[in-house]
Structures are given as structure tokens and as C-alpha cells.
Amino acid sequence: MLLAITVYNGRSFVPACLTSAKLLEQHTAEIDVLILDDCSPEEGFSAFLEQHCVERGFIYYRTPRNLGIVRNVNMGLLAALEGGYDFVIISNSDVVYSKQTVDHLLVAYNSNPGIGSVTGFSNNVSIFSIPNVDPDLHLSKQASVDWVAESLARQFKGVAVDVPAGISFCILIPASVIQTVGLMDPVFGRGYCEETDWTLRSLARGYRITLAPAAFVYHRGRGSTVAAGMVSGGHSTVPENEAVIDFRYPLFRDQVNAFVRGGIYDELKTTPVDLLLRVANDQFGHDVQISGAVEVGDAKRVICRVPSDMNEVTISYLGFETRLKLKKGMQPLEVIRKFFIDDTSKTSTNAATNPLNLPIPLGTAAYPLYV
């Protein structure tokens, strides 16, 4: 297994990424880590990065000139092919992996035939993100990322959810699929949408595009691209590259809309959060806070907040929260009790008993396949 991490500047966040990469468990695969420094211009940063790689036993390479994200990613894909690896994980550098990230990605890949890519789950992974009120505050530490991943694995280990496109913030690709589909298209210039194009090309070849809910990875998002001037602070994509996708795949937006309307989109945003809150309650307990009363509570416990008008209950932990509406006559404490006694947090499942009710794979009648 080759983990290829693309880097462009990032002194404030890259060290955390490298530390988490060093902590990755290797139960299902031996992992080599390749750091691809795209000629970072910050003075002294490349030497700083190379030293970090030497200390951790990582392979380090700095391009003689800036190539942009697409060509830098392609270097990782080619390195996997030339190095004889079975799989490559392409990853941004503004992430923190859980210790089990690679294991969970591989288990999801092996769960079903025909999978061509597996994207990790995250607080920031396009429309597939798990909601969190302040991920940079709550989820950027290794211990938090590990806890979230371990908790999600209670239900989602081995689950691979079909999605409209993959996201290369952290995506596992088999070398055999690269040989069939090819590299990412340099037409996307310095980056954005190249992985959408690549995974849609893989779909046209008959491969499934999937996401692994158990493979949680914290993602800061746009760490390198804003610094590189690719997008401004108020934007999250490149319109010109979006236009290429629209031209090549005129049905793609309809497929995304069908995915959203099909219910899996909503399940990805609610089921994991409810699971995490129940696991946290099992492990740490909860406190109830009534508006207007003296607030008591432990930051390490689940907090259940009830407003003075008693119209809802907000249950939160580590930035994850759910709101339970209270109808007339309902007692908040009873609603809280019923939420926590749901036994889904204690039930393990696999792809065959997936609580997300896997959608029909793209390319069938439900999702028209285009070439």
C-alpha cells in the first residue's frame, strides 16, 4: 500500500498530518508513505518538511517546479504503478487520519466486487460530510479522530456506500483500476474536479464509486489551495473546471440530485451523528441543562439542553448534535431516555445489513450510466 500525500506549503497543519500517518495501523497492509512536495515556495518549508519525513521514515520528493495538484497526484499514481503496489491512497496534507483509516478503507473495498475507489468519511468531504458545529475545534486532535472512527466502526465497518463521485482528500484506488482508467486529466490545471472526472471515467468502465463511513479522517479543507491562490477564502471550487465536468458529463448533476433525493444523503448526515451521541453516552454519560437554571455539566459528557419553552431537546457531544422536537405533552427527560436506549450503538453490521440501506449502484436504471 502506498500513501501518497500531496503538499504545497502548510507549516501550520502538515506536521499533524505526518504524525497521524506515522501512527497508522498496518493490520491489513504494509504502508509506505510518499510525500510529494509541489515545489513549496515558502522559504525554508521544504527543508522543514524533508526533515520531518526523515524523522518518520517517509519517502520525500520535491518537484523542481510547481506542477499543480493534478500532476502532483499523477506522480503518486505513477509511483504506485512503478513501485508494484496493489493500492494507492491519494491524500491532501490538511488532514488527520484515524489510526485505523487504511484498515477501514481496505475492509470497505473488499466488501463488494467491482469497487474502483473508496473515499474516506470526514467533516469536510463535499456533500457527504458529517455535520459538526466546529470541526477545527473539536476534531483536529488525534484522540478525537480516533474516537470518532472507533465509534463509527461499531456499525459501519465493512460498509461501502455508492456515491456519485469520489473525493481525493483521501481516496483509495487499486493499481489495477489505474491501469484501466489511466491518470487524472491535466486539463483541470492546478486542481479541483479532477477526481470527479477520474471517478466518472472509472464508472464508465464499470467500476463502483464508494465511500466508507467507518474510515473517518479529519479534513481542515482548502489548506493548500487557498495559500496557492487557486480559490479565494469565499469559494470552494474553480468554475472553469466545473464547466468541463458539465460539458463532459451532462447527466452528472441530475445523478447528484437523484442521490440527494434518494435518502442516503440524509442518512449520511443523521445516522452517524446519532450513533456517536449514543456511544458517547454509553461511555461518558450525560448532563441535562434547562434554560434559566444554573448550568451544570462536564465537557467530557454528552450535554442535553432544554430551552425554557420546552419545544425541543438539543443533544450534543464533541461538536456533533441532534435536535429532537417536543410535541405538546411530551416530557423532555422521557424523550432523552428513549433516544439513548436505542440499541443501534451496540449493534455491529456489515455491508449485507447496512443501516444506511445501500442505494442501487450507479449505472443501473436508477442512475443512468453515461459514456
Q: What is the pLDDT of residue 353?
A: 39
Mean of pLDDT values over 101-118: 97
What integer pLDDT is reported at residue 330 of this predicted model? Answer: 86
Residue with cell 472509472: 202
- For residue 349, count CB atoms less than 10 angstroms from its CB and return exposed for 0-12, middle for 13-18, buried for 19 or more: middle
Spatial contact of 304 and 336, defined as CB atoms under 8 Å apart: yes
Nearest alpha carbon to residue 132 among 209, 221, 210: 221
Q: What is the rounded average pLDDT of the residues 309-327?
A: 93
Alpha carbons 71 and 318: distance in angstroms, whole number: 37
Name the average pLDDT for the chain. 89
Predicted confidence (pLDDT) per residue in 209-249, tens digit: 999 999 999 999 865 545 444 444 444 679 999 999 999 99
pLDDT at 273: 98
Q: pLDDT class for 359, splitting at 50, 70, 90?
A: very low
Which of 55, 101, 103, 59 lies closest to 83, judged by CA?
59
Long-range interactions of 301-304: CB distance < 8 A, separation 24+: 302/277, 304/332, 304/336
Question: What's the pLDDT at 184?
Answer: 98
pLDDT of residue 150: 98
Specify the pLDDT at position 290: 86
Range from 49-63, 144-158, 329-343 carrying the lowest mean pLDDT:
329-343
Q: What pLDDT is stored for residue 341 in this prediction?
A: 87
Helices (H) and strands (E) in the chain, counts: 13, 13
Can you tell me whether residue 52 is helix, strand or coil? helix
Ordered by start, the domain boundaries in the chain are 2-262, 278-346
- pLDDT over threshold 50, residue 350: no
CA–CA dist 28, 334 (Å, integer): 44
**How many degrees, rounded to 5, is the angle at CA 183 between CA 235 and CA 213?**
60
- Strands annotated E in the chain: 2-7, 32-37, 59-62, 87-91, 95-97, 115-121, 161-162, 170-174, 208-219, 286-290, 302-306, 312-317, 320-325
Q: Reply yes or no on whether the pLDDT at 165 is more than 70.
A: yes
pLDDT, mean of residues 135-156: 97
* Rounded Cα–Cα distance for residues 90 and 1 (Å): 11
More confidently predicted of 237 and 117 = 117
pLDDT of residue 4: 98
Look at residue 185 in the predicted model and tell me its pLDDT.
97
pLDDT > 50? residue 349: no
Q: Is 303 helix (H, G, I), strand (E, B) or coil?
A: strand
Report the pLDDT value the prediction gives residue 327, as an integer from 0 to 100.
85
Residue whose C-alpha is closest to residue 76's, from 65, 87, 245, 94: 87
Residues 6+ apart with CB under 8 A from 84: none
**How far, in Å, CA of 225 to CA of 38, rounded?**
12
* Mean pLDDT value across residues 120-137: 97
| φ/ψ of residue 281, rounded to 5 | -65, -40
- In the sheet that holds 320-325, the strands lie side by side as 286-290, 302-306, 312-317, 320-325
Amino acid of residue 370:
Y
Is residue 255 within 8 A of residue 370, CB to CB? The reply is no
What is the tens place of the pLDDT at every residue in 85-95? 999 999 999 99
Q: For residue 221, what pLDDT is reported?
A: 85
Please give the average per-residue pLDDT across 14-26, as a whole number: 98
Asked whether the CA dihedral 85, 87, 88, 89 is positive or negative, the reply is: negative
pLDDT for 297 equals 54
- For 354, the grid coordinates are 447496512
pLDDT of residue 303: 96
- Beta-bridged to residue 6, according to DSSP, are 36
Count of beta carbons in the 10 Å neighbourhood of residue 130 = 23
Give me the amino acid identity at 7: V
250-293 pLDDT, tens digit each: 999 999 999 999 999 999 999 999 999 999 999 999 999 987 55
Is CATH 3.90.550.60 correct for 2-262? yes
> How far is residue 147's CA from residue 54's CA, in Å, rounded to a whole number?
29
Taking residues 191-206, what's their average pLDDT?
Answer: 97
pLDDT of residue 367: 33
The count of C-alpha atoms lying within 13 angstroms of the C-alpha of 93, restricted to the half-sphere facing its C-beta, is 28
Number of CB atoms found within 10 A of residue 340's CB: 18
